[in-house]
């Protein structure tokens, strides 16, 4: 997986968006997140256009949790996508960018009262309701404002997608949503239909992340359509919207084989045809791709700081970033591919482990990977870091977070500035001893 514009010439010099990574590193420092605009835009448009072909036209609601900034929200608005936000902070970021609130879907299994108020005030298109408590509070706050808020109920359809246990959310014992099989969803639908201040527009179900098969997505749609038919028979209620979540896998490793979106869309179209009863319109389909829009566009440039060989001949290469800018290897044992700038493509290789700079033994970016021999000062590029890297970055060890720079046709623009040491203490207050 690499950005569309990434090139490595015969001397091993790496360029992206028409700019040498060395030049980017010198100008903006390292670690540096780089987003390739062309790749980002290609995926955003692919989802947007494929959904627009459905009848009625669907909406690609990019999942902001994968990577969000004011500029990225502005980009999504410019390209005509919708947006899934999961917190007041993501909502605030979108609104700061001037994002159309009517195209925002507000998620979260625990939205605070302040966040619900902020969503209502902004007039977001949909709340995805995750609990009866939330339903009650939302109804109460909407009534107080004299509005009726459109909601989707988050269902757990009982689908076990083959992915890492921590990011599997569609199974019955998930912390998210209302279980379809246990009758919990029935109670939630009845409550939503009876709650003044909310209007039940449809269902949402997200079955997990980094899913590399096609079938779980279609099974999800089938469960939601079957369940909707149950309510159409029982109460004459039929959804206007079915939001099938995100989770489309990407090729982190050569052996990862993500499903073709075209095939999923063809399957969906078939299901909507056979699954919509006579006399009602097919629901509008929302999808919430995050990773599959932004992962491939992203790379992170690091500078090698030190190398060492330990007993057993294990060789470490330490770089100037790590778990503070990419927590995924430590959190999920995620594996990334890496390349090194300026090395003869046909030259020697050795097995090394790329270690981060943070004070944890688990701060390993890439384990046992074959790379050219490196020395301090070399630039190492980790591929596929566009998703859940910047979004999950922390200030652990009080290390400032890297900037996000976007590149296109030889031009680089800063979308997020590098934090400074002063930023790290901006919210701190001085110590004053308590009286004894």
Ligand X SMILES: Cc1ncc(COP(=O)(O)O)c(C=O)c1O
> Among all residues, which ones are annotated catalytic?
359
Q: Which helix (H) or strand (E) holds 153?
A: strand 149-156
Q: Is residue 96 a contact partner of residue 117, using CB atoms and an 8 Å limit?
A: no
State the nearest-atom distance from the C-beta of 62 to ligand X, in Å.
9
Residue 66 as a binder of ligand X (CB under 6 A): the answer is: yes
Residue 282 as a binder of ligand X (CB under 6 A): the answer is: no
Helix H, strand E, coil C: the string for 115-136 is: HHHHHHHHCCCEEEECCHHHHH
Q: Is residue 3 a contact partner of residue 24, using CB atoms and an 8 Å limit?
A: no
SS3 at position 222: helix
Q: What is the rounded CA–CA span in Å between residue 264 and residue 268?
A: 6
Residue (209 or 326) nearer to ligand X, CB: 209
Q: Could you say which residues in the range 394-423 bind ligand X, by CB under 6 A?
A: none
CB neighbour list of residue 225: distance below 8 Å, 6 or more residues apart = 242, 271, 272, 275, 276
Taking residues 372 to 391 in sequence order and writing x for each that binds ligand X by CB under 6 A, - otherwise, the string is ---------------x----
Residue (249 or 372) nearer to ligand X, CB: 249
The footprint of ligand X on this chain (CB under 6 A) covers a number of residues equal to 17
Q: Could you say which residues in the range 11-30 bind ligand X, by CB under 6 A?
A: none
State the nearest-atom distance from the C-beta of 176 to ligand X, in Å.
7
Residue 126 as a binder of ligand X (CB under 6 A): the answer is: no
Q: What is the rounded CA–CA span in Å between residue 231 and residue 290?
A: 31
State the nearest-atom distance from the C-beta of 379 to ligand X, in Å.
28
Phi and psi (nearest 5°) for 35? Answer: -115, 130
CB neighbour list of residue 337: distance below 8 Å, 6 or more residues apart = 1, 252, 253, 366, 369, 382, 383, 384
Q: What angle do CA 93, 386, 48 make, to 5 degrees?
A: 70
Residue (204 or 408) nearer to ligand X, CB: 204
Q: Could you say which residues in the range 289-318 bind ligand X, by CB under 6 A?
A: 289-292
Residue 39 as a binder of ligand X (CB under 6 A): the answer is: no
State the nearest-atom distance from the C-beta of 255 to ligand X, in Å.
19
Taking residues 198 to 237 in sequence order and writing x for each that binds ligand X by CB under 6 A, - otherwise, the string is --------x--x----------------------------
Listing DSSP states for 101-120 in one string gives GGGEEE--SS--HHHHHHHH
State the nearest-atom distance from the C-beta of 393 to ligand X, in Å.
16
| The residue to which tokens 């990011």 are assigned | 167
Q: Is residue 379 a contact partner of residue 342, using CB atoms and an 8 Å limit?
A: yes
Residue (90 or 320) nearer to ligand X, CB: 90
Q: Which two tokens stand for residue 22?
A: 């060395």
Which range binds ligand X by CB under 6 A, 25-33, 37-45, 241-249, 268-276? 241-249
Residue 84 as a binder of ligand X (CB under 6 A): the answer is: yes
Q: Could you say which residues in the range 100-119 bind ligand X, by CB under 6 A?
A: 107
Chain positions contacting ligand X, by CB under 6 A: 63, 65-66, 84, 107, 206, 209, 245-248, 288-292, 387
């Amino acid at each position: 997986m690499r950005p569309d514009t990434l090139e490595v010439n015969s001397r091993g010099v790496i360029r992206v968006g028409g700019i040498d990574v060395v030049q980017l590193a010198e100008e903006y420092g390292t670690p540096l997140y780089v987003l390739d605009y062309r790749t980002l835009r290609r995926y955003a448009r692919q989802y947007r256009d494929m959904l627009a072909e459905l009848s009625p036209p669907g909406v690609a609601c990019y999942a902001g949790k994968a990577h969000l900034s004011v500029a990225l929200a502005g980009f999504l608005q410019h390209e005509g996508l919708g947006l899934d936000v999961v917190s007041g902070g993501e909502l605030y970021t979108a609104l700061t960018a001037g994002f159309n609130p009517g195209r925002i879907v507000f998620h979260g299994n625990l939205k605070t009262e302040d966040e619900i108020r902020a969503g209502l005030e902004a007039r977001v298109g949909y709340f995805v309701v995750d609990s009866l408590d939330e339903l009650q509070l939302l109804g109460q706050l909407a009534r107080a404002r004299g509005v009726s808020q459109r909601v989707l109920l988050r269902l757990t359809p009982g689908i076990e997608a083959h992915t890492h246990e921590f990011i599997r959310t569609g199974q019955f014992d998930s912390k998210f949503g209302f279980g379809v099989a246990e009758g919990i969803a029935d109670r939630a639908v009845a409550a939503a239909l009876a709650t003044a201040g909310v209007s039940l527009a449809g269902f949402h179900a997200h079955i997990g992340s980094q899913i590399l098969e096609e079938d779980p997505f279609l099974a999800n749609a089938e469960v939601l359509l079957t369940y909707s038919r149950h309510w159409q028979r029982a109460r004459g209620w039929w959804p206007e919207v079915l939001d099938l979540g995100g989770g489309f896998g990407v090729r982190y490793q050569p052996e990862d084989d993500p499903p073709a979106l075209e095939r999923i869309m063809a399957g969906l179209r078939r299901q909507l045809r056979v699954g919509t009863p006579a006399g009602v319109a097919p629901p509008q389909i929302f999808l919430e791709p995050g990773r599959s829009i932004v992962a491939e566009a992203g790379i992170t440039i690091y500078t090698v700081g030190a190398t060492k060989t330990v007993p057993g001949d294990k060789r470490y290469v330490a770089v100037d970033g790590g778990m503070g800018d990419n927590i995924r290897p430590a959190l999920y044992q995620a594996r990334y591919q890496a390349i090194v700038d300026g090395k003869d493509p046909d030259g020697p290789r050795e097995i090394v482990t790329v270690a981060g700079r943070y004070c944890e033994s688990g701060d390993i970016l890439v384990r046992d990977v074959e790379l050219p021999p490196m020395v301090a000062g070399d630039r190492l590029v980790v591929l596929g870091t566009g998703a859940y890297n910047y979004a999950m970055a922390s200030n652990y060890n009080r290390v400032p977070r890297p900037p996000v720079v976007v590149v296109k046709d030889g031009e680089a623009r800063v979308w997020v500035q590098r934090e400074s040491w002063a930023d790290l203490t901006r919210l701190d207050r001085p110590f004053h001893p308590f009286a004894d």
